[in-house]
Structure 1
Amino acid sequence: MSLLRTPEPPPQQPLPLVWAADHSPARLAVTDANRAVAAWLAAPALWPVPVSLLVGPQGSGKSHLAGWFAAQHACRVIEAADREDAEMLFHAWNAATPAQPLLLTSRLNPRDWGHGLPDLASRLAATPLIRLGEPDDELLAAVLAKLFADRGIKVGDDLIRWLVLRIERSLGAAQAVVDRLDAEALSRRRAVTIPLAREVVDGQFSLF
């Protein structure tokens, strides 16, 4: 007489959820890495001209700060401005006013944009440039904690510290690892812990 084993249920497939970014002032993580930039963006009325340029490497938090700025002020934001049409940028610069300032973002300094439009170059030369570097440990930890909390995932400080030491130093990497850990935890019906994170980050799964 043979014994039949009940087949195990297939892993749960996580639903493709889109988590809305929260750009409210209370949710912005501010550390030494971005404190000066946040202070500048908080007070556009004090800018010498109604345009500013935010420059920083990929994953430094430009988009988050730009979204936060747009949520607080009646303004216009043009991201990746170095890849936009020079004539459009020129007219956008001229149209900016103290009541509706303009924020440009770019990974490159204006001298490296290669647009070849002297009138735009002169205006960019008069534009305050604010710079972001790579996130520091404190900012990366705060962003990771926020991303987990946004999904209702309870994690320990030990996991946050473990991730900060191992993932790429960018806010994009923080987003990617939280997305992947959330998906793997749902699929395997497991809690988000260091052992699961070790499998995702160090071994079995590729984030990028």
Structure 2
Amino acid sequence: MTADQFDLPLPKPAVHREDEFLVSESNARAIQAIEHWGAWPVMAALLVGPRKSGRSLLARMFVAKTGGVMIDDAERTSETEMFHAWNRAQSARRPLLIVADAPPPEWAVRLPDLRSRLAATPVLRLDRPDDQLVPELLRYLFDRRDLDARPDLIAWLVKRVERSHLAVLRTVELIEEAADARRTRKLSIPMARAVLSQSGLISERLRSQPPELL
């Protein structure tokens, strides 16, 4: 599946906005399930995935489209509040999307009635970014910061950045800081190499290679 922008059709912006979501095989199944929420076995679903994966953004977009309800950071939400929200979703037929790092029992649910309801709730997973999504994320994040990242730099970073949303975001933030310090918006491989080496974002295996290969 070709990476694309997914926006649960909202008005298309002329420039990048907060309501854009990049799609690849790592998250396409969850998005398809969200689009077909009427087929959920109950009027609620658990959306789980790593931090910075866009899970809260996706939930907000879902609410904007459907008029549903979201609960973010479910692990830190009152169990009584979540229990009543789950019940209201069923009685009102208004979908509820519960956002968490992982589904129970990976976080303890002490209220038995809530535990049984969450056990009956489908789990939609956003996985770690795959080889298709990482370059798209890099291009998107650099573009949003008005940074000139050429294809050769993107290709260089793709081979070196850890496959996690947080690592991709941290890489872009550090490179932006270096660009700001140099008062330039044009990025280069030597700049990125220096940033990643200093920050420890290059793996030990890559660090042991000759500088020209890094």
Provide the rounded CA distance (Å) in 2 between the counterparts of 1:164 and 1:62. 22
Provide the rounded CA distance (Å) in 1 between the counterparts of 2:169 and 2:112. 39
For 1:15, the equivalent position in structure 2 comes to none
For 2:73, the equivalent position in structure 1 comes to 80
For 1:125, the equivalent position in structure 2 comes to 119
For 2:196, the equivalent position in structure 1 comes to 201
Q: 1:108 aligns with which of 97, 102, 108?
A: 102
Q: 1:22 aligns with which of 14, 18, 21?
A: 18
Higher relative contact order (CA 8 A, sep 6+): 1
For 1:13, the equivalent position in structure 2 comes to none
**Shift, 1:35, TM fit:** 0.7
**Shift, 1:167, TM fit:** 2.2
CA contact (8 A) 2:21 2:54 kept: no
What is the 5 A alignment of 1:177-192?
A: 177-190=171-184, 191-192=186-187
For 1:146, the equivalent position in structure 2 comes to 140
Unmatched 5+ residue regions in structure 1?
1-19
**Pair 1:175 & 2:169 matched:** yes
For 1:35, the equivalent position in structure 2 comes to 28
Once the two structures are superposed, residues 127-151 of structure 1 have per-residue CA deviations (whole angstroms, 9 ceiling, x without a partner) of 1111222110111211111111112
Matched residue type, 1:40: A
CA contact (8 A) 1:59 1:134 kept: no
Once the two structures are superposed, residues 43-64 of structure 1 have per-residue CA deviations (whole angstroms, 9 ceiling, x without a partner) of 3223222110012234444234
CA contact (8 A) 2:128 2:164 kept: yes
**Shift, 1:29, TM fit:** 1.2
Change (3 A) 1:142 1:68: farther
Paired residues, what number? 184
Matched residue type, 1:65: L
Change (3 A) 1:82 1:21: farther
Greater shift in the superposed pair: 30-39 or 165-174: 165-174
For 1:91, the equivalent position in structure 2 comes to 84
Matched residue type, 1:197: A
Normalization by structure 2: what TM-score? 0.76
CA contact (8 A) 1:82 1:110 kept: no
Change (3 A) 1:170 1:71: farther
Provide the rounded CA distance (Å) in 1 between the counterparts of 2:58 and 2:106. 23
Matched residue type, 2:115: A
Q: 1:166 aligns with which of 160, 168, 172?
A: 160
**Shift, 1:103, TM fit:** 0.7
Unmatched 5+ residue regions in structure 2?
1-15, 202-214
Percent of aligned pairs with the same amino acid: 40
Change (3 A) 1:151 1:57: closer
Q: What CA RMSD, in Å, does the superposition of the two structures yield over aligned residues?
A: 2.2
Change (3 A) 1:68 1:196: farther
**Pair 1:63 & 2:56 matched:** yes
Greater shift in the superposed pair: 30-39 or 189-198: 189-198
